[in-house]
């Protein structure tokens, strides 16, 4: 059953080929036997209770497309009455008193939440090694990382521990783990999905998205996730199309741009081969390939690693041990309470980014760092605007490497540099999807497609057609 | 050494919206602790702010009322610092681009003079919660009901030169915000808070001295005292050859002194940056026009109208228009036919005294405008004297009937019958020949004695005007 | 723009993070490595470029002034580290 896509499961449930309870129990068993450490909390009782309700709705013929489908929810989304940790010790004891809008929406759709997935602490990381709950293992090779920060979600989908998962992407945290785990992940246009209840890392970059087995599944799930929320000032009031409607449109004449800056010496040969091979696939379907230039690409890393830490240094100030979360034992006085609660509660990478952000915003440095970074951000966005005048979709790698070994990358800067292909997308607020496109040394390689604002349909259509002509997305890790 | 004082005021005016500036929690005063602090106000992980339209409208109303430049594109910024009653660890405020820019307001400098005081800017921000230190011995208790209440921070230019000017300015702003209905002005409840920036410099110097910021002032009386005591303190320091330290000082009303605040803002670097959870506030021209047209008559306009329309003195008009509710009360009396000057005296006299004694606002007056106008009319038409009217007023205040009923039941009608008064006066002249001679000899003060005798004979009911007139006739 | 240990301790206090003397040295090195990365930005000419605070070219939406929240203080206080008499409690603050 776990090899079925969401689309197949949806049909199967409607046909009563199996019940949601059966399906849910099946996944729960798989999770129980899994050593990937993909979950922080498994919500067994809740899942089964939701599954029973779903079965009732299905029996009455009142089900939606996703009613009864079990999913894994990234532990960055607040879930009422359920532990929400953001992968951090400081929220280890936090039972959220409210639901994120997204959590609420998925509940209303009748979906079944299997549990909260492991992640890099406060979404800061590219390997899921920064979690208070330990690293997550890549199902393709358990000595390796699944990517991050949505590592748990990606591993869960890749190992078919759930039908799909939710993720968040601030600098690549959906796309990169999707790439490293051989699955599909889309980050929609900034403002497409509500951020209310999604624990903030970098507010102007964060966006939620589905992590799925295929573009078709992603379209199905995005239909439910997307939409305006009046509780989120940055949510855009724009109609949600049926993302599944135009999946099979022909892409004849689609103009694909390949940024020359992405194919410099830094890129691994194997990966470059996979990417270029994939692009030929699109050409065979009638797409036209052109070279484009994104001249400020190289500045994406320093720009992001100023903007994001600045925003997060402020966003995380609320974690002070006063109203919720971790408070140190026997605080001597207020200052001691702040210092020890935060220092004992936050992991090293989080503390580093808070320090960088605090410094970059401080008196005398604001202009040189934050303001400068926001200007360069503008230039990076302009690069894309110009490119999209000539092409419809930009394609390239997701990650310069395949999954590396747990513990292999020890210094922050090297880790940051690996985000080179994904960061600019968040800086510009554009939608982008990562789909499995091949292998290198038996490890998955993802292809990234970046679209213009609000062009999720184009991305999903293009990705879906690729997936009708190739079978990378149905390959499974051994023994799945 | 001739010193010049330079004062600027920062006023935090709580806007009287129903809900908070960034959340839908209630702003009603007096609720049980933490019952009006929702998820957004508590700064729970993942919550987001959404801007209250009414707060924006109120800020614009203020800006237009002080002829300020309106920044039709303004930005919310985060002011970052740690304090237990600041849930998010930052306050959402406005920094580089506030919604209201440069404006000005006219104040009375006393002795009939006026002066324009500049307003540098006014911006929107959220209030913090309350820290209560005396509930527990070893803990500070935090109540977040107030967190998220909208504030308009009004910053004046350092244009004031003494405490009286500062108080005049504060009172003017206080009246204005109530006039335009954006703030209830209740200083006891903390809806209107004044901080004063005070510095001194040698007279003639262009350079500003080091300033101290005075906080914890919750009345106009204390504002004046705090500023004056601070001026003294700074003068002493400078005359001794010392230097004034730039710091925040708390005013202690009991000791009438200011002391340095062991500060939560010790060398604080607020690291302001635009709040990424909020977008720029863009105001359309139409909205501004709508607001401008909806502004009520402002205090200065009303005052001028009272002078020209009702023939009141500048002083009387100023007093009557200081509070909109009082001005409305007064005008209602005139609408009922009360005479302008007389009504003014009664409103500023007996009515205000009664309100002050009972510590109440004119809205809660025991005597309505209509009822007081009846009283005043009975003085104008000679039914009762002004003196008797004061007694009637007291009876009315106790809630014991309307004017005419009281006059009838207590037989207070004044005696205006000229014949009857003449008879009584004749009698008194006849019985007091000695005093009559002394009066005619030049002791004019004795007139009061005769009046007194007439009043005694008539139980105070003789019409004083007529008594005076007839006495003067008969004694001349 | 390289950091010194003293600065690092000041930043840590601003951010309410504990950095012991022994940790300070390592933190300073790590932070300086990251800052070197950012130094690249000074190469670019951004003279006439507007800063981009948001990917969206939108104005702030305004919410009607309506009370929409009810009293959930019990739920919120249930997850607090320390409460008393309906208040959140912290070690005494001296003002």
Task: Note whether B276 contacts A311, CB cutoff 8 Å.
Answer: yes
Residue B450 confidence (pLDDT):
85
Contact status, residue A470 vs residue A444, Cβ threshold 8 Å: no
The active-site residue, picked from A5, A19, A74, A137, is A74
Does residue B264 register a pLDDT over 50? no
Mark residue B241 as left, alpha or beta (left: phi above 0; alpha: psi -120 to 50; beta: remaining): left
Q: Mean of the pLDDT values across residues B352-378? A: 91
Q: Sorting pLDDT into bands at 50, 70 and 90, what band is A96?
A: very high
Encode pLDDT of B175-211 as tens digits: 999 999 999 998 988 999 999 999 999 988 889 889 9
Does residue A455 register a pLDDT over 50? yes
Half-sphere exposure of A234 (CA within 13 A, CB side): 29
The token pair that represents B329 in the structure block:
């009360």
Mark residue A38 as left, alpha or beta (left: phi above 0; alpha: psi -120 to 50; beta: remaining): alpha
Dist CA A206 CA A192 (whole Å): 11
- Across the beta sheet with B139-143, the strand order is B130-132, B139-143, C87-91, C83-84
In chain B, the percentage of residues whose pLDDT exceeds 70 is 98
* Distance to chain A for C89, nearest Cα, Å: 7
Pick the range with the lowest mean pLDDT from A150-159, B4-13, B291-300: B291-300
Q: Which residues contact B299 (CB under 8 A, 6 or more apart)?
A: B172, B175, B176, B179, B321, B322, B324
Task: Note whether C11 contacts A355, CB cutoff 8 Å.
Answer: yes
Task: Note whether C66 contacts B34, CB cutoff 8 Å.
Answer: no
- Alpha carbon separation from A142 to A147, A181, A189, A443 (Å, rounded): 12, 11, 33, 11
The active-site residue, picked from A103, A173, A179, A341, is A173
For residues A471, A472, A473, A476, the Cα torsion angle rounded to the nearest 10 degrees is 100
Q: Mean of the pLDDT values across residues B341-352? A: 94
The token pair that represents A269 in the structure block:
């040969």
Dist CA A455 CA A432 (whole Å): 9
Strand-pairing partners, residue A72, are A115, A165
Q: Which residues contact A472 (CB under 8 A, 6 or more apart)?
A: A182, A435, A436, A437, A438, A439, A444
* Distance to chain C for A35, nearest Cα, Å: 31
Task: Note whether C33 contacts A190, CB cutoff 8 Å.
Answer: no
Does residue B265 register a pLDDT over 60? no
Task: Note whether A377 contacts C56, CB cutoff 8 Å.
Answer: no
Dist CA A48 CA A59 (whole Å): 16
A80 in contact with chain B, both atoms CB, cutoff 8 A: no
Mark residue A220 as left, alpha or beta (left: phi above 0; alpha: psi -120 to 50; beta: remaining): alpha
Task: Note whether B135 contacts C88, CB cutoff 8 Å.
Answer: no
Nearest to C17 among A332, A339, A360 (CB): A339
CB atoms within 10 A of CB B116: 11
A 151-180 residues with CB below 8 A of C?
none
Nearest to C38 among A93, A234, A306 (CB): A306
Helix (H, G, I), strand (E, B) or coil at A2: coil
Write down the residue that tokens 């005479």 correspond to: B339
Weakly modelled stretches of chain C, pLDDT under 50: none
Dist CA B33 CA B308 (whole Å): 50
Q: Hey, CA dihedral for A358, A359, A361, A363, is it positive or negative? A: positive
To test the contact with chain A by mutation, choose from C23, C47, C81, C82 the residue with the greatest count of A C-beta atoms within 10 A, namely: C81
Active site residue A149: yes
Task: Note whether B38 contacts C95, CB cutoff 8 Å.
Answer: no
Write down the residue that tokens 């930043």 correspond to: C11
CB atoms within 10 A of CB A316: 27
Dist CA A407 CA B224 (whole Å): 67
Does residue B401 register a pLDDT over 70? yes
Dist CA A294 CA A254 (whole Å): 19
User: Mean of the per-residue pLDDT values for chain A?
Assistant: 96
Q: Mean of the pLDDT values across residues B392-421? A: 84
Q: Mean of the pLDDT values across residues B407-425? A: 82
Contact status, residue B339 vs residue B376, Cβ threshold 8 Å: yes
To test the contact with chain B by mutation, choose from A315, A337, A340, A429 the residue with the greatest count of B C-beta atoms within 10 A, namely: A315
Dist CA A357 CA B107 (whole Å): 46
Residue B46 confidence (pLDDT):
98
User: Mean of the per-residue pLDDT values for chain B?
Assistant: 91
Encode pLDDT of B7-28 as tens digits: 999 999 999 999 999 999 999 9
Does residue A471 register a pLDDT over 50? yes
Nearest to C66 among B19, B141, B279 (CB): B19
Residue B205 confidence (pLDDT):
87
Active site residue A278: no
Task: Note whether B87 contacts A318, CB cutoff 8 Å.
Answer: yes
Which residues of B are less than 8 Å from A310 in CB distance?
A: 273
Does residue B240 register a pLDDT over 70? yes
Residue B291 confidence (pLDDT):
94
In chain A, the percentage of residues whose pLDDT exceeds 70 is 100
A327 in contact with chain C, both atoms CB, cutoff 8 A: yes
DSSP letter (8 states) at residue A18 = S
To test the contact with chain C by mutation, choose from A82, A302, A305 the residue with the greatest count of C C-beta atoms within 10 A, namely: A302
Q: Which chains touch B (3 or more CB pairs under 8 A)?
A: A, C
Residue A279 confidence (pLDDT):
95
Task: Note whether B26 contacts C53, CB cutoff 8 Å.
Answer: no
Contact status, residue A58 vs residue A16, Cβ threshold 8 Å: yes
Domain ranges of chain A: 6-253+392-474, 298-373
To test the contact with chain B by mutation, choose from C18, C54, C56, C63 the residue with the greatest count of B C-beta atoms within 10 A, namely: C63
Q: What is the pTM of this model?
A: 0.90
User: Is A88 or B394 the better-scoring residue by pLDDT?
Assistant: A88
Encode pLDDT of A116-143 as tens digits: 999 999 999 999 999 999 999 999 999 9
The token pair that represents B154 in the structure block:
């009004």
Does residue B262 register a pLDDT over 70? no
Q: Which chains touch A (3 or more CB pairs under 8 A)?
A: B, C
Dist CA A324 CA A321 (whole Å): 6
* Distance to chain A for B88, nearest Cα, Å: 4
Residue contacts between A and B (CB atoms, under 8 Å)? 98
Which residues of C are less than 8 Å from A203 in CB distance?
A: none
Pick one of 3.40.50.720, 2.60.40.10, 3.10.129.10, 3.90.1300.10 as the CATH number of A6-253+392-474. 3.90.1300.10
Residue C95 confidence (pLDDT):
59
In chain A, the percentage of residues whose pLDDT exceeds 90 is 94
Task: Note whether B53 contacts C93, CB cutoff 8 Å.
Answer: no
Nearest to A361 among B44, B84, B273 (CB): B273
Dist CA B334 CA B340 (whole Å): 6
Encode pLDDT of B441-456 as tens digits: 888 888 888 888 888 8
Does residue A304 register a pLDDT over 70? yes
* Distance to chain B for A465, nearest Cα, Å: 36
Closest chain A residue by Cα to residue C49: A375
Task: Note whether B45 contacts A84, CB cutoff 8 Å.
Answer: yes
| Helical pair B418-431 and B433-440, crossing angle rounded to 10 deg | 100
Helix (H, G, I), strand (E, B) or coil at A475: coil
Encode pLDDT of A167-208 as tens digits: 999 999 999 999 999 999 999 999 999 999 999 999 999 999
Closest chain B residue by Cα to residue C73: B35
Residue B266 confidence (pLDDT):
55
Listing DSSP states for B28-65 in one string gives -TTPPTTTT--HHHHT-TT----EEHHHHHHHHHHHHH
β-pairing, B90-93 with B130-132?
A: unpaired
Closest by Cα among A366, A421, A412 to A171: A421
Nearest to B82 among C16, C77, C92 (CB): C16
Task: Note whether C91 contacts B138, CB cutoff 8 Å.
Answer: yes
Residue B290 confidence (pLDDT):
92
Q: Where are the beta strands (DSSP E) in B127-177?
A: 130-132, 139-143, 150-156
* Distance to chain C for B279, nearest Cα, Å: 4
C78: enclosing H helix or E strand? helix C73-78
A204 in contact with chain C, both atoms CB, cutoff 8 A: yes
Residue B267 confidence (pLDDT):
61
Residue B385 confidence (pLDDT):
82
Dist CA B152 CA B74 (whole Å): 14
* Angle subtended at Cα B84 by Cα B194 and Cα C19, rounded to the nearest 5 degrees: 125
Residue B359 confidence (pLDDT):
84
| Helical pair A300-315 and A372-387, crossing angle rounded to 10 deg | 130
The active-site residue, picked from A149, A153, A313, A455, is A149
Encode pLDDT of A220-239 as tens digits: 999 999 999 999 999 999 99
Which residues of A are less than 8 Å from C72 in CB distance?
A: 97
Dist CA A212 CA A157 (whole Å): 6
Active site residue A173: yes
Which residues of C are less than 8 Å from B140 in CB distance?
A: 89-93
β-pairing, B192-202 with B281-282?
A: unpaired
Does residue B434 register a pLDDT over 90? no
Nearest to B141 among C53, C77, C85 (CB): C85
Mark residue A87 as left, alpha or beta (left: phi above 0; alpha: psi -120 to 50; beta: remaining): left
Closest chain C residue by Cα to residue A454: C56
C 26-85 residues with CB below 8 A of B?
53-54, 56, 58-69, 71-73, 76-77, 82, 84-85
Task: Note whether A318 contacts B80, CB cutoff 8 Å.
Answer: no
Task: Note whether A379 contacts C46, CB cutoff 8 Å.
Answer: yes
Write down the residue that tokens 């320093």 correspond to: A302
* Distance to chain C for B64, nearest Cα, Å: 20
B252: enclosing H helix or E strand? strand B247-252
């Amino acid at each position: 059953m776990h090899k079925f896509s969401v689309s197949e499961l949806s049909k199967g449930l409607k046909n009563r080929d199996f019940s949601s309870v059966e399906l849910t129990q099946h996944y729960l068993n798989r999770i129980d036997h899994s050593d990937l450490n993909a979950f922080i909390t498994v919500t067994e009782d809740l899942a089964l209770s939701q599954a029973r309700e779903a079965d009732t709705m299905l029996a009455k013929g009142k089900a939606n497309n996703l009613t009864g489908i079990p999913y894994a929810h990234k532990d960055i989304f607040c879930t009422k009455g359920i532990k929400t940790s953001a992968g951090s010790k400081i929220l280890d004891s936090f039972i959220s008193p409210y639901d994120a809008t997204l959590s609420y929406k998925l509940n209303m759709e009748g979906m079944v939440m299997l549990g909260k997935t492991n992640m890099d602490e406060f979404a800061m990381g590219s390997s899921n090694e920064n979690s208070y709950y330990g690293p997550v293992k890549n199902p393709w090779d358990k000595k390796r990382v699944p990517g991050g920060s949505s590592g748990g979600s990606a591993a869960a989908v890749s190992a078919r521990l759930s039908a799909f998962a939710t993720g968040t992407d601030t600098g690549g945290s959906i796309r990169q783990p999707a790439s490293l785990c051989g699955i599909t992940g889309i980050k929609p246009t900034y403002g497409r999905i509500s951020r209310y209840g999604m624990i903030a890392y970098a507010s102007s970059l964060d966006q939620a998205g589905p992590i799925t087995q295929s573009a078709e599944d992603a379209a199905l799930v995005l239909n439910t996730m997307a939409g305006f929320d009046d509780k989120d000032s940055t949510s855009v009031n724009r109609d949600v199309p049926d993302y599944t409607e135009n999946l099979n449109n022909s892409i004849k004449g689609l103009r694909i741009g390949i940024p020359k800056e992405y194919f410099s010496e830094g890129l691994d040969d194997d990966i470059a081969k996979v990417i270029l091979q994939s692009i030929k696939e699109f050409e065979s379907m009638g797409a036209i390939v052109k070279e484009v230039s994104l001249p400020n690409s190289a500045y994406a890393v320093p720009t992001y690693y100023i903007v994001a830490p600045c925003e997060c240094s402020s966003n995380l100030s609320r974690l002070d041990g006063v109203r919720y979360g971790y408070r140190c034992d026997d605080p001597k006085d207020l200052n001691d309470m702040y210092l020890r609660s935060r220092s004992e509660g936050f992991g090293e990478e989080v503390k580093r980014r808070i320090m960088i952000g605090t410094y970059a915003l401080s008196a005398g440095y604001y202009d040189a760092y934050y303001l400068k970074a926001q200007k360069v951000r503008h230039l990076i966005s302009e690069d894309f605007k110009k490119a999209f005048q000539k092409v419809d979709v930009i394609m390239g790698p997701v990650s310069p490497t395949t999954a590396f070994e747990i513990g292999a990358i020890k210094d922050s800067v090297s880790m940051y540099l690996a985000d080179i292909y994904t960061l600019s997308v968040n800086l510009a607020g554009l939608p982008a999807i990562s789909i499995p496109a091949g292998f290198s040394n038996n490890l998955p390689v993802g292809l990234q497609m970046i679209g213009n604002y609000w062009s999720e349909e184009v991305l999903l259509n293009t990705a879906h057609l690729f997936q009708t002509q190739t079978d990378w997305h149905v390959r499974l890790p051994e023994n799945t | 050494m001739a010193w010049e004082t330079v004062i600027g005021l920062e006023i935090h005016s709580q806007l009287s919206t129903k809900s908070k500036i960034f959340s839908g929690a209630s702003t009603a005063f007096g609720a049980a602790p933490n019952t009006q602090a929702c998820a957004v106000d508590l700064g729970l992980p993942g919550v987001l702010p959404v801007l209250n339209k009414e707060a924006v409208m109120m800020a614009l109303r203020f800006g237009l009322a002080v002829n300020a430049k309106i920044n039709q594109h303004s930005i919310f910024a985060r002011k970052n610092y740690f304090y237990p009653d600041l849930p998010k660890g930052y306050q959402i405020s406005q920094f580089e681009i506030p919604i209201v820019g440069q404006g000005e307001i006219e104040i009375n400098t006393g002795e009939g003079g006026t002066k324009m005081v500049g307003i540098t800017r006014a911006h929107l921000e959220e209030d913090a919660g309350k820290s209560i230190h005396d509930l527990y011995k070893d803990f500070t208790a935090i109540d977040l009901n107030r967190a998220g209440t909208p504030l308009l921070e009004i910053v004046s230019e350092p244009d004031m030169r003494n405490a009286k000017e500062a108080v005049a300015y504060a009172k003017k702003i206080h009246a204005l915000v109530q006039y335009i209905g954006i703030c209830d002005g209740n200083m006891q409840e903390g809806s209107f808070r004044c901080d004063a920036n005070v510095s001194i410099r040698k007279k003639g110097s262009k350079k500003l001295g080091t300033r101290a910021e005075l906080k914890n002032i919750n009345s106009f009386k204390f504002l004046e005292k705090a500023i004056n005591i601070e001026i003294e303190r700074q003068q002493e320091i400078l005359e001794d050859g010392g230097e004034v330290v730039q710091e925040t000082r708390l005013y202690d009303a009991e000791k009438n002194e200011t002391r340095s605040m062991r500060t939560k803002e010790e060398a604080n670097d607020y690291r302001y940056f635009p709040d990424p959870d909020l977008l720029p506030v863009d105001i359309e021209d139409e909205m501004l026009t709508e607001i401008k047209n909806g502004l009520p008559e402002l205090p200065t306009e009303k005052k001028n109208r009272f002078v020209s329309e009702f023939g009141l003195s500048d002083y009387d008009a100023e007093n009557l228009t200081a509070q909109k509710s009082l001005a409305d009360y007064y005008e209602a009396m005139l609408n009922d036919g009360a005479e302008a000057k007389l009504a003014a005296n009664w409103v500023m006299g007996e009515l205000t005294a009664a309100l002050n004694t009972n510590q109440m606002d004119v809205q809660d007056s025991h005597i309505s405008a209509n009822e007081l106008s009846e009283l005043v009319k009975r003085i104008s038409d000679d039914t009762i004297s002004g003196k008797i009217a004061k007694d009637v007023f007291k009876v009315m205040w106790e809630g014991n009937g309307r004017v005419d009923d009281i006059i009838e039941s207590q037989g207070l009608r004044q005696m205006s019958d000229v014949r009857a008064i003449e008879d009584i006066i004749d009698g008194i002249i006849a019985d007091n020949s000695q005093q009559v001679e002394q009066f005619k000899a030049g002791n004019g003060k004795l007139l009061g004695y005769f009046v007194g005798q007439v009043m005694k004979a008539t139980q105070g009911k003789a019409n004083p005007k007529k008594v005076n007139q007839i006495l003067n006739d008969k004694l001349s | 723009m390289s950091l010194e240990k003293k600065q690092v301790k000041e930043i840590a206090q601003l951010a309410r993070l504990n950095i012991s003397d022994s940790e300070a040295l390592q933190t300073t090195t790590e932070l300086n490595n990251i800052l070197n990365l950012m130094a690249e930005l000074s190469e670019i000419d951004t003279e006439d470029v507007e800063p981009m605070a948001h990917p969206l070219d939108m104005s702030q939406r305004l919410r009607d002034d309506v009370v929409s929240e009810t009293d959930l203080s019990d739920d919120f206080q249930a997850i607090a580290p320390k409460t008393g008499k309906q208040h959140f409690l912290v070690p005494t603050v001296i003002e």
